[in-house]
Amino acid sequence: MIQIKSLAFNPYQENTYILSDETSECVIIDPGMYTGDEQNEFLKFISDNKLKPVLLLNTHCHIDHVLGNKFVFDTYGLLPQFHKGEEIVLNSVVSYAPQMGIRYEVSPLPEVFLPESGTVKFGESELELIFSPGHSPAHLCFYSVKDCFLIGGDVLFYRSIGRTDLPGGNHDLLITNIREKLFVLPDDCRVYPGHGPSTSIGFEKQYNPFLS
């Protein structure tokens, strides 16, 4: 069974996820650690639980989801993996970060890009890729069939959806992907978003005002 740890980091209170299984191998998704205290909190969790980081994944490459990419690379030697369509998004961070008053340590680039479908594996576990652009041009979600949860990035939130007014955003496409790719998942599928509390597919089908 996959264990999920969520840590809210940086000025945007972005959810950084650490997924681990009984082998103690773990996956880091959307590392957002920004301050020294946040970096230490992250390292302490990894160390206290005797975890071995083996994968660094990004759902997408907006600044709040990649602020810790270089720290993870420097610490564990892991290059990020994301869909190639997000490379332009990542490359733009260095130009707009100063305008936002954010100190950005430039993320390394992948050696391996993720496809639109397929799986990523760690330990004895695997996550299915769900291609769900709309908030960003090549956003991916990570779905555990066995444990029935979704690491959803900035696609679907508790009673909300990802913003679509940033470059590469498309509101109609986002709504379509939520309906056709996420709402087909089991109602009891737990959704762990990029910001805010977790929710479920069934709850959002019934109560999300953007999708009613």
Q: pLDDT of 188-207, one tens digit each?
A: 999 999 999 999 999 999 99
DSSP string over 114-157: B-SSSEEEETTEEEEEEE--SSSTT-EEEEETTTTEEEEETSEE
Cα angle value 88/5/41 (rounded, 5°): 85
- Calculate the average pLDDT of the chain: 97
Q: What is the mean pLDDT of residues 67-96?
A: 98
DSSP classification of residue 183: T
Q: How high is the pLDDT of residue 141?
A: 98
Question: Rounded distance, CA 153 to CA 83, Å?
Answer: 13
| Neighbour order of strands in the sheet with 52-57 | 3-9, 14-20, 25-29, 52-57, 80-81
- Please report which helix (H) or strand (E) contains residue 92, including its range: helix 87-96
Residue 139 has pLDDT above 90, yes or no: yes
Asked if the model's pLDDT at residue 212 lies above 90, the reply is: no
Q: Which domain holds residue 131?
A: 3-207
d(CA 171, CA 123): 36
State the pLDDT at residue 158. Answer: 98
Is the predicted pLDDT of residue 144 greater than 90, yes or no? yes
Quick check: is 212 in a domain? no
For the stretch 4-40, pLDDT in tens is 999 999 999 999 999 999 999 999 999 999 999 999 9
Between strands 149-153 and 160-161, the pairing is: unpaired
Question: Global pTM?
Answer: 0.97
For residue 109, the model assigns a pLDDT of 97
Q: What is the CATH number of the domain that holds 171?
A: 3.60.15.10
Judge whether 64 and 14 are in contact, CB under 8 Å.
yes
Which residue shows structure tokens 């762990």? 192
Domain presence at residue 53 = yes
Strands (E), the chain: 3-9, 14-20, 25-29, 52-57, 80-81, 119-122, 125-131, 140-144, 149-153, 156-157, 160-161, 190-193, 199-200
Q: Is residue 139 part of a domain?
A: yes
pLDDT band at residue 172 under the 50/70/90 scheme:
very high
Tell me whether residue 121 is in a domain.
Answer: yes
Number of domains in the chain: 1
* Average pLDDT of span 160-164: 98
Q: Which two tokens stand for residue 99?
A: 């305008």
pLDDT for 39-52, tens place per residue?
Answer: 999 999 999 999 99
Residues in the chain: 212
Q: Is the backbone of residue 153 left (phi > 0), alpha (psi -120 to 50) or beta?
A: left
